[in-house]
Amino acid sequence: MNYTKEEILSFLTAEKEEILDLMKQTVNNEENNTITYSKNIFIPLTEICRNDCGYCNFKKTPEDKNAIILKDMDEILEELKIAEKQGCKEALFTFGEDADESPAVVKALEDKGYKNMIDYIYDVCLMTLNETKLLPHTNGGNFSYDALKKLKEVNASMGLMLENSSKRLMETIAHRRSPGKDPELRIDTISNAGKLKIPYTTGILIGIGETKEEIADSLLTIKELSDKYNHIQEVIIQNFTVSPGIEMENCEEPSLMDMIRTVVAAKLLFKDSDVSIQVPPNLNYDTAQIFLLCGADDWGGVSPISKDFVNPTSPWPALEELEKLTNNVGFNLTERLCIYDKYITPEWLNEKLLDAISNLS
């Protein structure tokens, strides 16, 4: 069933027993009692970024003595080996968008014999496949078609948050100094990933000044891309959280009811698309269980050894605790790979990646 924008808006503005009825619909749509997660290690290659979002907890400047300008491959491999021993199967590589526009990053790359970040991350992912049993998943902002085509060869999956499809937010505290958050650029990147048949993760960020109508538009934009290319594995519903020192530290977080309505709307919209709905448990620890009753069926990447560098003030729950939270609602927790099963075919992956996945099995 395809929902109209007006119907999605009605979900996002539901009240009283309407909300309970919608929640019941999402739970009834579940084919099984399984909630999934990916056991990963989170490795930022650089914390330099051209964007300066009002809610960002990730970006650092080259002048910051604690900033990661460019993580060395030997250090990366050492961390990957630790993750491998801990049973992790996903290597999540992140870095600030167009970090190689910074002279400090350019120099660090040149010192290692590289001209740009794309070549560097390619070799990092190739090393991961050759030297470990982990599967690379890269999320580094907008990429060109050619860059995506290259990275596809060494990534089991990739991702980029749409965040919101509204150009209006480019004029607000959230994105006014972040050219890479232009929704047209992000939609182009997600579209190109679809054209290249890259299994993909995307999602929206709520609580950054958007309207209900803009949430509806954003969800429908992702649905349109998913229907066109069939490459969207999961849609993340992420809530803005206040942290000390960010530009938006005095802004209001989205309410629990806003999160419930948005998760419900996403689940109903994608219920026939075989797309998972993910809610980050570390950003919603006290309320995480209720989202399972709203149709969320994935916790995303959870690491036993590294912090969430994008949300450093929100630690991941221990896997044992995550299982308790899941079981207590009546669901079973199951580990998955960073690539969903339906994409593990020669249509989507090359032989090297298929072999790597086969070795994991």
- Binding site members: 49, 53, 56
161 touches 114 (CB < 8 A): no
Here the tokens at position 16 are 């009283």
Report the binding-site residues for [4Fe-4S] cluster.
49, 53, 56
Question: Could you identify the residue written with the tokens 């979002």?
Answer: 53
Paired with 40 in beta bridges are: 90
